[in-house]
Structure 1
Amino acid sequence: MEFIDQKNQHIKLRYCGPNEEPTGDHVLGLTQYRNKLLFTKHRKRGIEFPGGKCEKGETSIEALSREIYEETGGHLEVAYYIAQYTVTNAQRVFTKDVFVCVVSALESKQDYLETEGPICFSTIDNIPPQNKSFLLDDPAILKCVERMMMLGFYST
């Protein structure tokens, strides 16, 4: 499916199956911990799912595990590849692999880099609007959350 997001960027989203190989240069983890959704609080944007760029030579799963740990202190137990979307704007094109993730433990850290660490909610709707990142209103991310629920990975 294709659409224009709130930043006027062209988005092309496709759902993926378990046998497909992730090929993106960014990752996003729809992360769960103890039957709640696990988010991170970005210092500028607010509360959002963990994710980021793949570093040189890093697979999507390696990047996902690293980003979840850096941003939440979470230890990735399992990840299911469910979608990929490409963002095109005037400056660049990037592709994001989206995973449903289960975190086995949260480790308290001194530094969560660009975030303030982990925060859990039962649903996105429970996040106070003034604390919510614009990314949680992004149509591609919301479609991926719908997909996660449709596949039975999470229910409210």
Structure 2
Amino acid sequence: MLEFKDRSNRKVTLEFEYTRDMDHILAICVMDGKYLFTDHKVRGIEFPGGKIEPGESAEEAVHREVFEETGASIGNMRFIGVYTVHGSKPFVKGVYLAEVADMFFKCEYMETYGPVLYTAVEDIPEERRSFLLADPCIDYLYRKIRNDDQTT
């Protein structure tokens, strides 16, 4: 298990064993050698994700959230880890690496302006980046996935 602090100084843990206790998901999506982000209307550019609906599996939530926020359908995906923010009411986020199978234009992208592609987080203008991309745990996961991808 790894430990981090978020911007509110809350303890964040990262574990690599699957659990059914997840209530949110985060999808780090890859498409044509680039990362697929969503442009959140309030927070800015970030990886797609959101709440797991009642009766829905984490994997089903990945498919739904990515499609709602970007119009992308997911092909292969793999579980990466569990990101837990500890506070008065902890939340548990499953993190997945997902390959985009196809993209569809949508008239409505829920709480986002839709998809954006970048080769790296560092290519996103700093003023457009969601605070979530600066989160130490999310940054660690992104860099781990990026480094693993470059060594294969």
TM-score (norm 1): 0.91
Partner of 2:113: 116
Partner of 1:3: 4
* SS of structure 2 residue aligned to 1:95: strand
**Identical positions, percent:** 37
Q: Deviations over 1:2-54 (max 9, x none)?
A: 121112221011234xxx45541110000111110000000000000000000
| Structure-2 separation of matches of 1:149 and 1:130 | 22
- The correspondence for 1:64, drawn from 62, 65, 85, is 62
| Structure-1 separation of matches of 2:94 and 2:148 | 17
Q: Which ranges in structure 1 are unaligned for 5 or more consecutive residues? A: none
Partner of 2:80: 82
Q: Deviations over 1:59-93 (max 9, x none)?
A: 00000000000000000111110111111123x11
* SS of structure 2 residue aligned to 1:24: coil
Aligned-residue RMSD, C-alpha = 1.5
> In the TM superposition, what is the alpha-carbon distance from 1:150 to its structure 2 partner?
3.7
Runs (4 or more) in structure 1 with deviation over 2 Å come to: 20-23, 149-152
TM-score (norm 2): 0.93
| Structure-1 separation of matches of 2:8 and 2:19 | 29
